[in-house]
Chain A
């Protein structure tokens, strides 16, 4: 059953499927009810599942994640919506100190099947604290799974996989791609979908690997397309914790060159980790040092400058040139 869906609508459909198939699944957050969320990702869910399962919470992120932990301890599977990336931070204590560590502390007696959905990244001309890329904080915290989507197909299936996972999952939604539309195969079993922690070769190629995730996958694909002289492979990482190094290193062993692209600041970012690991595992296959094309080590700038902050087609191509010029 193929249908054309945007990423936003695909997440909506995935949430709906998850709620349909398990009455323990709850949705909670600010404005998720009547309004359907500020991005309308939860549109219609409260109407169909009721205000007991789609809960408009008080305006308190620590409260949202903290009570979700309690609900999970009671056998529910809460999906929290944090309205924007920059508003996650009030919930850090609950997430990093509690949610991520409880399973280990209880020697496996407790499961925390909590999903925290966060619209993240820039490119929508927003005001402050609406364009953050916090993925490295999450990926650096043991006990959390961190995923992000780049296509409607992945959006539909991965949100369901996140909900059925018995681990806490940080589900990062690239907000500037919410309106990207493509075919989604909504039929079939969840178990048949590509696992959410597997990376995906989005475009095969032989000369260099461009690795991206979330909002940058589209830009990476455009760059690969634009480079008519070279045959560029694009890998969509999908899962930032744990990282599917097998797919990444297999690609780099073949192409010999790697450019990692992300919007988040360069220093101590996910790209640095990948560069280190690829250097360890593929040293003799590399034709050039791993290169990173990332956001700057500055606060996200005012919106009139975000086009300069965000890696764009030219900056990605510039990075590709660097691994060939070596």
Chain B
């Protein structure tokens, strides 16, 4: 089966084995305190909890849709924590872990999936652009942004790097391939972070690519690396290095995080129609959270008290996410006309006025007829 090939892959960069053993990698030294390691574990658990709650909220009819990140926490948290405040992330629609690391409150994410907002957060405040749904488009935006960074002379040690997130399916899009080329010929400070979760809805990786995805970078003229996407430490170390290289003016890197989507594509999807459960069982052995937990306890970095504390923090967060989701205010009907243009626009002004009058006619009728 396709997923075993990369497992044996000698080029797969892994710092933490599925059993929780730490291995040094000559090219990717892990420069991290025990406190940071504990924080990474906490992030993983909390992000998974947000995801679990969101799936449940969708089932209860509180959300229209949710795209679960189950299984991809390590790829997202590792790379997300590698970012600095002035870096800019360009997410797709499943990057709840990245959003978390960028300080975007879970309820902002829920608002989008509940249908009360179209975006939800200020991209500049968080250094994280809005979710994108049209596959591959954000890779060009990230590249253009990085070209802007270059022109601003904002590179160097304290400079800005850009990171773009997308899936294995997205590598088939023209936009992604154009972005790779623009980034390459311009030597733009952008990291392309592909979460290869093996599936694009029902289509396995073989329907998207005949070569390992990280190897594509060579054809464009920049380095590509494949990491164990379920290893938060590898994700952190490799992304840090790629961001540093971008900041130092050495141009783009493609990181392929080899991981697995453990849930359905979205809450609308039924994966039993196209994949076998043995595959899932295999990947459960490589769960990103379990291996961190094993490492933390084997090394005596954390004990039961810490794990209990994180779990109860997750319980609190879960409760808060549920409550805040239900409390999200309903948008006003006239919001439809808001912020369509920066300058006044006569079409919109007229339609807004007509619609306001139309809505008011119901209130009048209600007052008269008790409707």
Contacts and interface: CB of A to CB of B under 8 A. Distances in A.
A130 B115 CA distance: 12
B174 A60 contact: yes
A129 B134 contact: yes
B201 A31 contact: yes
A33 B64 CA distance: 26
Contacts of B116: 302, 304
A303 B336 contact: no
Contacts of A303: 64, 115
A127 B337 contact: no
B133 A128 contact: yes
A129 B112 CA distance: 13
Contacts of B333: 305, 308
B351 A266 contact: yes
A90 B176 CA distance: 12
A298 interface: yes
A58 B208 CA distance: 5
Interface string B323-343: 000000011010111001000
B202 A33 contact: yes
A126 interface: yes
B335 A59 contact: no
A64 B362 CA distance: 47
A90 B173 contact: yes
Interface string B201-214: 11100011100000
Nearest to B348: A297
Contacts of B335: 301, 305
Interface stretch (A14-22, A34-42, A154-162, A197-205): A34-42
A81 interface: no
Interface string B63-88: 01100000000000000000000000
A305 B336 contact: yes
B118 interface: yes
The size class of the interface chain B forms with chain A is 35 or more
B172 interface: yes
Contacts of B64: 125-127, 303
Residue among A56, A58, A304 with most chain B CB within 10 A: A304
B208 A59 contact: yes
A67 interface: no
A263 to B, nearest CB: 13
Contacts of B202: 31, 33-35, 56
A57 interface: yes
A310 to B, nearest CB: 11
B331 A58 contact: no
B175 A59 contact: no
B280 to A, nearest CB: 16
A43 B369 CA distance: 49
Contacts of B93: 127
B306 interface: no
Nearest to A303: B115
Interface in A1-51: 30-31, 33-36, 38
Given A60-B172, A86-B134, A302-B115, A34 B274 contact: yes
B268 interface: yes
Interface string B198-226: 00111100011100000000000000000
Contact of B201 (A35, A58, A266): A35
A308 B172 contact: no
B181 interface: no
Interface string B342-360: 0000011001000100100
Contact of B268 (A38, A57, A86): A38
B70 to A, nearest CB: 19
Contact of A36 (B118, B273, B358): B273
B118 to A, nearest CB: 5
Contacts of A31: 201-203
A89 B175 CA distance: 12
Contact of A296 (B65, B208, B351): B351
A87 interface: yes
B241 interface: no
Contact of B207 (A57, A305, A315): A57
Nearest to A39: B268
Contacts of A59: 135-136, 169-170, 172-173, 200, 203, 208
Given A90-B136, A302-B118, 10 more contacts: A30-B201, A31-B203, A36-B273, A56-B207, A60-B172, A60-B173, A127-B133, A296-B348, A297-B351, A298-B348
17 contacts: A31-B201, A38-B201, A38-B268, A57-B207, A59-B173, A63-B172, A89-B134, A90-B174, A127-B113, A127-B133, A129-B134, A297-B340, A298-B337, A298-B351, A301-B336, A302-B116, A308-B336
